[in-house]
Amino acid sequence: MTASSSARSLALSGTRSNNPRRHSRMLSLTALAAVGVMVLAACAAKPSEKAASGTSKPLVVGISLPLTGDFSQPGGEAKRGYEVWQSMVNAKGGVLGRKVELKITDDASNQDTVVADYSKLITQDKVDLVLGTFSSLLNYPASAVAEKNAMVFVEPAGGAPKMFTRGFKNLFFAQPATAPHQADVFVDWIKSLPDAERPKTAAYPSQDDPFAAPVIESMQKQLEALGVKTVYSAVYPADTTNFQTIASQMASKKPDLIAQGAVFEDGVGLIRSLKQLNYSPKMLFQTSAPSNSSQYSDAVGMANTEGVFYTVSWNEKAKTPLNPEFVAAYAKAYAGASPAEDAADAFAAAQILQAATTAVGSVDQSKIRDWLHANTPETILGPLSWDETGAPKGKFLLAQWQSSTVEVVGPADAATTKTVVNPKPGWK
Amino acid sequence: MSRVRSIPRQHLVAGLCLLALVLYPVINPWQPYPQGVMLLGFMLAIQACSWNIISGYAGYISLGHSMFLGLGSYTVAILAIKWGVNPLWLIPLGGVTAVVIALLIGSVVLRTRGHAFVIITIAMLLAAQIFAVNFKGLTQGSDGITLELPFWDRDYQNIPFYYIFLSLLVLTVLFTAWIRRTKFGTGLIAIREDEGKAASIGVNTTRFKIVGYGASAFFIGVAGGVYAYYLTFLNPVGSFAILGSVVIVLAALTGGKGTLYGPVVGAFLVQLTSEAATVYGGGSQTRVLLFGSALVAVVLFMPAGLLPTIEAQWRRRHPVTVEYTDQAGALGHGPATTRERALADVAVQADGQSQGDVLLEVRGVSKRFGGLVAVDNANLTVRKGSITALIGPNGSGKTTLFNLITGGMTADSGEIYFDGQRIDRMKPWERGHLGLGRTFQITRLFKEMTVQENVVAPLPDSRWRTMFADAVSGHEAARARELLDIVGLGRFAGERAGALSYGQQKLVELAQVLMLEPRLILLDEPAGGVNPSLLGRLTGVIRELNERGISFLVVEHNIPLVLELCDPVVVFSRGTPIAEGPPGMIREDPVVLDAYLGDDWRPAPVDDAAKAVRASTHRGVH
Amino acid sequence: MTQLVQALALGLLIGGVYALMASGLALIFGVMRIINIAQGALLILVAMITWWLWRKTGIDPILASVITTPLMFGFGWVLYRFVVSRIRDQSASMSVLLTFGFALVIEGVLNVVAGNRFRSATPSYFEESFRMGGVSLPKTQVYGFIAALVVLAALYLILTRTWTGRAIRATSQNPSGAALVGVGAAGTAALAFALGTATTGVGGSILSVLYPFFPASHYDWISRLLGIVVLGGLGSLPGAMVGALILGLAETLTATYGSLRWSTLVFYLVIMVVLLFRPQGLYGAKLREDAV
């Protein structure tokens, strides 16, 4: 570079500077930076290479959950479920003789974040195992990351039908059935009724939710095949807060059965609107709302819960292995509260992974995957098994609020009581 | 080596950064997580740069811009599934959809000025979400769409996405830089600085805004298609979330909207900070709070953005001396050949009309503002080749009449004809294209552009080729420089127009008008604020231009100048002409004197008459 | 038939409440040409405060507006004086960005302080309705409507009968003219802004009873309000009233007779159609022409 250079190049920015010195300084800085980066990167390993598992190091399970944002409520419950499992497992010596460590990050109910979280956990932090997040919307992209990296992905939530049409081999849903089959147990109960007691007409309002809507859709088809007349069927947007129009339309048709695809607030909102109109159907079914125990009964009033049906993957009183211990441990850890279904599902997901890992004797993902496809581990939800797409092959429980508590009324082998409240009493 | 040195420093730095980014996965290939963070940063930068076109350059803030990302994603995903093709082949179609929607929305809402645009962009984003949810047959509603995993080995995972997004970013930046260089770019900035003035210099503001909005959508749509493949899952809530638009605005604003690299810098800042907050901070609950506070802070304390603020600091430490007007050059001592050629360029083509034909005719035009009648059934004729003066007391409606002629206002009644064509229903730029130019009483230049850009900005015709002509080098730029030389401001070509003095700005405005190749120029008080020797030069320029065929209609209060330069002289009072005739006659007309000076005025003795008139008019009938 | 009457009644009732909420937005825009995007977030903030007051003290939520209204008046005044006025002379787009930022800050703070759960104030009459003929009108809607009417009437009286109100109207029509006759522009602007935010004091209290809300609900509300003022004509208070009633009716009728899903879309369709044929809205004045 020559010493004489003009500043013409910088005319537009209107400054004077010493060009040659600036240039050589920039070049040497760049060279330094490049060398630095290369040194740093020299010892990185390929993503496909797994970290060697030393037997004394803790077994790290990577999890991303929506601890904040739209799904923060179930996300928080899932976290509790995982943590209760961790404390119970470590009290008995851990898994494969190693203490279990949970690495939980918050994805804020955001898709980009959940992808980044699992990407980091798997490829950077090199966790030994992963467990799923909450809600189908987040599990879709998260499971894709796991599948790309050939990690087994057991998810406590995310039963929307499309989850299982992608040809993933490493995906497992930790609930007894997928959404379209969730309501089968209710239909079975109706079939068991004599003709005179069956509902003649039915209304099917549902939230536009990938989990709730398929439940009601499938129920509608099955009941129509049975001869139950559909007098109202509508899907409302997820942010609907005003249920008066829906309620008044249904009330005018006076259906015997109202089956609502309700997530939570909408279930409460519809009941409130029905109360305002003073219409109480003979049978009321809501998909998930009534499972929120005290929150639900506080919101609609305990007296009004009587007779409400819903399906659930888990029940507090079920006699499944480790269930009483789970309930006790949860109450101890969280000031006497009873677990929500989401916490139980998370616990079950962890149990599944634990069973497979223990049976296989290592954290080899392909061995774990093969074992799960071939076996039926026991969980607090009962025994679970899957088809090759990862969809489970069981049945949900039919639950009903009776005298301020929840009872399981079907299927028969899981029932906690023989009585079924039918018809539902009026509003109080 | 000197070629390298002649590239502006900002481009050199950008080039080095690009090199580093290109080399990064080569040096460090086996880390998908940081690559993932970077490629999301690229995607944000693409969106912020594109946003910059309509909101930074043109000043029309879009608060729903992430809608185009979602549109691109959905288009590519739907078609990929329908046609059984890998999504990467279809990404241009994502861009096409985005552009089409942008053009449709723009053509409805950008026809007017004002705040409707920002409201519509928010509304459209939310509406898009609702459409995606409800058009189940097409978009599968809330269930969302799932795509197959990418076909390459998982060891490479994010590397192809990294490079695709990086290439798109480079293309977007080049595109934006190219736009800035053209008259399209100067037109957009003109619209931001002063939309009314832009319209009067031939910029078809509606067309520019709509094209700008469309241009700001393309690369985002393409990026959306790639993003769909990266996530392998789309759903309405995720694709059309308002937080995505907030982040775009924050990124561009932080880096510096209206600059070339500002949005890119801002995007990286925002993305890296956000990721750091997730990893090291207390989770992302605070994300909304973080972005909101950042937005408020940037607007209050650093509205220009990071890059311009840094540049301003730099300038404070390395100031440039401001030069004086090349008055000597302007006063005729410069190279005669340049001036001759420039003036010849400005000459009006013969159009079959001969001297003396009517060029501008105003018939029975009226304009009221509520109860005030500003122009009252006025008739006015300007003949080709003349320098017609329009004088009258303040408040007599002269400037209003100008506004009516050039299209700044619509008349309540009456007609205006220019060269036989009726123009009172035409848009201001259409009148400009016909050859009608105007300067303003208080100069209206585009302060943030350079002087040369100000002069290049006008469009003499409505052809698309003119719109995309190069404004920095090439024929248009050369013409602009020559016009600047005529008025003696050639040395200022690279200065910010806002930095010039009042008189200098007036001269630039005149050069601007000449760029329109006008046949009639309306001068609104050209002599105001110009020093006497320069005034002589100005008069000379007007006369020279007039000799080459340009007609003038001049509003002036400097009566001696008027009497010397103009013929005929029209006197306006209370919204209508009260007298018209050659200067000598007007001087003596009692009706005129009465209107100007009041009915208690008595003429002074003969030899002091001229002095008295000069004194009274200079004391300001303002 | 009763279904139609029911739908019309519900539509009008909700339209009245929308009118109250939109009035603040219209007032602020009319006087100082600022689109206050934070108006929705302020409504949610008030709803949250009302809910908290109701939980702690049992005070009726709608009556709680007696507390929240002066609170919001003061808040708005302070906000204007110390923050918004700083950027008044910059371009209009900057004030849009600023108020948008505010909305996010309010949402973020509510997220942190109150969490992301749905909340709803449920006083004793919450599930009761007035019954007339076959038509059933929920008490919450009726009380909300009455409260809205009262406040709108008060606003009307303030604007037309008090000197402050006239000053505000003058400034909105012609700032320089108003200054010439002794109306202090800065003080008047602050008052107008404060008055606009004060309306959220009542609007938010009513909201807490009518709809379950959570921090991010403000987007739904601001988009509704923006639609209303665009329909009515930016800056026109009577326009906002009429626009609110029209949109309230449209929303309810679409939900009853059309499909529920499309009822939210009605808002946006209306905006686009109005802007297509009448860019200034129903009552809006054209921009001052000599602004060219």
For residue range A335-381, list pLDDT tens digits in order. Answer: 888 888 889 999 999 999 999 999 999 889 999 999 999 999 988 88
B619 has a pLDDT exceeding 70 = no
> Where do the DSSP E strands lie in B461-613?
520-524, 551-555, 569-573, 576-581
- Asked if C265 and B130 come within 8 Å (Cβ–Cβ), the reply is yes
Q: Say what the pLDDT of residue A10 is.
A: 32
Closest-CA distance, B364 to chain C, in angstroms, reads: 20
Q: Say what the pLDDT of residue B204 is.
A: 93
- Asked if C97 and B133 come within 8 Å (Cβ–Cβ), the reply is no
- Tell me which residue in B111, B115, B127 faces C35 most closely, judged by beta carbons: B115
- Asked if C275 and B122 come within 8 Å (Cβ–Cβ), the reply is no
State the best of B19, B278, B452 to mutate against chain A, taking most chain A CBs within 10 Å: B278
One-letter amino acid at A257 equals L
Contact A95, A59 (CB under 8 A): yes
- Tell me which residue in B116, B294, B295 faces C279 most closely, judged by beta carbons: B116
- Asked if A245 and C138 come within 8 Å (Cβ–Cβ), the reply is no
Eight-class DSSP state of A186? H
| Pick from A41-55, A154-168, B210-224: least confident | A41-55
Q: Say what the pLDDT of residue A42 is.
A: 47
Q: Say what the pLDDT of residue C280 is.
A: 72
For residue range B209-250, list pLDDT tens digits in order. Answer: 999 999 999 999 999 999 999 988 898 888 998 889 989 999
Partners of A112 on chain B (C-beta within 8 Å) are: 40, 231
Partners of C217 on chain A (C-beta within 8 Å) are: 239
How is B177-217 classified by DSSP, letter by letter?
HHHHHBHHHHHHHHHHH-HHHHHHTT--HHHHHHHHHHHHH
Each domain of chain A, given as residue ranges in start order, spans: 59-178+318-383, 181-315+397-414
Each domain of chain B, given as residue ranges in start order, spans: 6-242, 337-591
| Contacts of C among chains (3+ CB pairs under 8 A) | A, B
Size of interface A-B (CB pairs under 8 A): 163
How is A307-353 classified by DSSP, letter by letter?
TEEEEES--TT---TTHHHHHHHHHHHTTTPPPPHHHHHHHHHHHHH
How is C140-187 classified by DSSP, letter by letter?
HHHHHHHHHHHHHHHHHHHHHHSHHHHHHHHHHH-HHHHHHTT--HHH
| Contacts of B among chains (3+ CB pairs under 8 A) | A, C
B382 has a pLDDT exceeding 70 = yes
The mean pLDDT of chain A is: 83
Judged by a CB distance cut-off of 8 A, whether residue C276 touches chain B is: yes
Q: Say what the pLDDT of residue B71 is.
A: 95
Neighbours of C33 (CB within 10 A): 16
- Complex-level ipTM: 0.86
- HSE-up of residue C205 (Cα within 13 Å, Cβ side): 29
Nearest to A82 by CA among A383, A349, A365, A355: A349
pLDDT-derived band at A45 (thresholds 50, 70, 90) equals low
A308 has a pLDDT exceeding 60 = yes
CATH architecture assignment, domain A59-178+318-383: 3-Layer(aba) Sandwich (3.40)
Partners of A236 on chain C (C-beta within 8 Å) are: 260-261
Nearest to B362 by CA among B405, B395, B420, B403: B405
Q: Say what the pLDDT of residue A40 is.
A: 53
Q: Any residues with CB less than 8 A from the CB of B413 and at least 6 apart, and which?
A: B364, B365, B366, B377
Q: Say what the pLDDT of residue A5 is.
A: 33
- Asked if B63 and C92 come within 8 Å (Cβ–Cβ), the reply is no
For residue range B285-322, list pLDDT tens digits in order. Answer: 567 788 889 899 999 988 888 888 888 888 888 877 66
Q: Say what the pLDDT of residue B55 is.
A: 93
Q: Say what the pLDDT of residue A48 is.
A: 61
The mean pLDDT of chain B is: 84
Q: Say what the pLDDT of residue B492 is.
A: 83
Return the SS3 of A204: strand
Residue with more model confidence, A117 or B563: A117
Nearest to B92 by CA among B168, B170, B174, B146: B168
- Asked if C260 and A237 come within 8 Å (Cβ–Cβ), the reply is yes
For residue range A238-270, list pLDDT tens digits in order. Answer: 777 778 888 888 988 999 999 999 988 889 889
- Asked if C101 and B196 come within 8 Å (Cβ–Cβ), the reply is no
How is B465-505 classified by DSSP, letter by letter?
HHHTSBSSSSHHHHHHHHHHHHTT-GGGTTSBGGGS-HHHH
Distance CA B337, CA B359 (A): 31
For residue range A314-332, list pLDDT tens digits in order. Answer: 888 877 888 899 999 999 9
Return the SS3 of B149: coil
Q: Which domains, and CATH codes, for chain C?
A: 2-291 (1.10.3470)
State the best of A27, A64, A68 to mutate against chain B, taking most chain B CBs within 10 Å: A68
For residue range B128-153, list pLDDT tens digits in order. Answer: 988 888 888 888 887 888 888 888 87
Chain A residue set in contact with C, beta carbons under 8 Å: 68-70, 72-73, 208, 234-237, 239-242, 244-246, 248-249, 252, 264-265, 268-269, 272, 275-278
| Minimum CA–CA partner of B319 in chain A | A15
- Asked if B295 and C97 come within 8 Å (Cβ–Cβ), the reply is yes
Tell me the mean pLDDT in the region B518-545: 83
Partners of A234 on chain C (C-beta within 8 Å) are: 259-260
Q: Say what the pLDDT of residue C97 is.
A: 87
Q: What is the DSSP pairing of strand A382-383 with strand A378-379? A: antiparallel
Closest-CA distance, B285 to chain A, in angstroms, reads: 5
Judged by a CB distance cut-off of 8 A, whether residue C251 touches chain B is: no
Token pair for residue A83? 């943590």
List the Cα angle B87/B93/B97 in 5-degree steps. Answer: 130
For residue range B475-500, list pLDDT tens digits in order. Answer: 888 899 888 887 778 888 888 888 88
Q: Any residues with CB less than 8 A from the CB of A195 and at least 6 apart, and which?
A: none
- Asked if A245 and C255 come within 8 Å (Cβ–Cβ), the reply is yes
Q: Say what the pLDDT of residue B219 is.
A: 96
Helices (H) and strands (E) in chain C, counts: 11, 2
Partners of B120 on chain C (C-beta within 8 Å) are: 271-272, 275
CATH superfamily, region B337-591: P-loop containing nucleotide triphosphate hydrolases (3.40.50.300)
Partners of B270 on chain C (C-beta within 8 Å) are: none
Q: Say what the pLDDT of residue A2 is.
A: 37
Contact B297, B250 (CB under 8 A): no
Judged by a CB distance cut-off of 8 A, whether residue B133 touches chain A is: yes
Token pair for residue A358? 């223990």
Contact B94, B72 (CB under 8 A): yes
Tell me the mean pLDDT in the region B94-115: 88
| Pick from B339-348, B361-370, C261-270, C279-288: least confident | B339-348
Tell me the mean pLDDT in the region B149-166: 87
Please report the residues numbered 99 through 158 in chain A whose beta carbons come closer than 8 angstroms to any beta carbon of chain B. Answer: 105-108, 110-113, 115-117, 119-120, 123-124, 137, 140-141, 144, 147-150
- Asked if A73 and C138 come within 8 Å (Cβ–Cβ), the reply is no
Partners of A246 on chain C (C-beta within 8 Å) are: 255, 260
Backbone angles phi, psi at C278, to 5 degrees: -145, 80
Q: Say what the pLDDT of residue B613 is.
A: 59
- Tell me which residue in C136, C212, C259 faces A276 most closely, judged by beta carbons: C136
Partners of A244 on chain C (C-beta within 8 Å) are: 10, 138
Nearest to B166 by CA among B4, B26, B307: B26
Closest-CA distance, A142 to chain B, in angstroms, reads: 9
- Tell me which residue in B27, B155, B318 faces A38 most closely, judged by beta carbons: B27
Nearest to C94 by CA among B117, A401, B295, B82: B295
Q: Say what the pLDDT of residue B222 is.
A: 96
Q: Which residue do the tokens 């069981």 mark?
A: A394
Q: What is the DSSP pairing of strand A405-410 with strand A397-402? A: antiparallel
pTM for this structure? 0.84
Return the SS3 of C259: coil
- Asked if C260 and A235 come within 8 Å (Cβ–Cβ), the reply is yes
Contact B390, B414 (CB under 8 A): no
Between helix C65-82 and helix C39-57 the angle, nearest 10°, is: 140
Residue ranges for chain C with pLDDT beneath 70: 175, 184, 260-261, 284-292
For residue range A265-277, list pLDDT tens digits in order. Answer: 889 889 988 988 8
Element (H, E) at B363: strand B358-369
Q: Any residues with CB less than 8 A from the CB of B347 and at least 6 apart, and which?
A: B548, B549
pLDDT-derived band at B335 (thresholds 50, 70, 90) equals very low
B345 has a pLDDT exceeding 70 = no
| Minimum CA–CA partner of B116 in chain C | C230
Partners of C103 on chain B (C-beta within 8 Å) are: 292
Distance CA A349, CA A355 (A): 10
Eight-class DSSP state of A65? E
Backbone angles phi, psi at B520, to 5 degrees: -135, 130
pLDDT-derived band at A32 (thresholds 50, 70, 90) equals low
State the best of A276, A294, A300, A304 to mutate against chain C, taking most chain C CBs within 10 Å: A276
Domain covering A181-315+397-414, topology: Rossmann fold (3.40.50)
Q: Say what the pLDDT of residue B612 is.
A: 58
For residue range B564-603, list pLDDT tens digits in order. Answer: 888 888 888 888 888 888 888 887 888 777 766 665 655 5
Closest-CA distance, A284 to chain C, in angstroms, reads: 19
- Asked if A70 and C117 come within 8 Å (Cβ–Cβ), the reply is no
Q: Say what the pLDDT of residue B326 is.
A: 53
| Minimum CA–CA partner of A159 in chain B | B143
Neighbours of C8 (CB within 10 A): 15
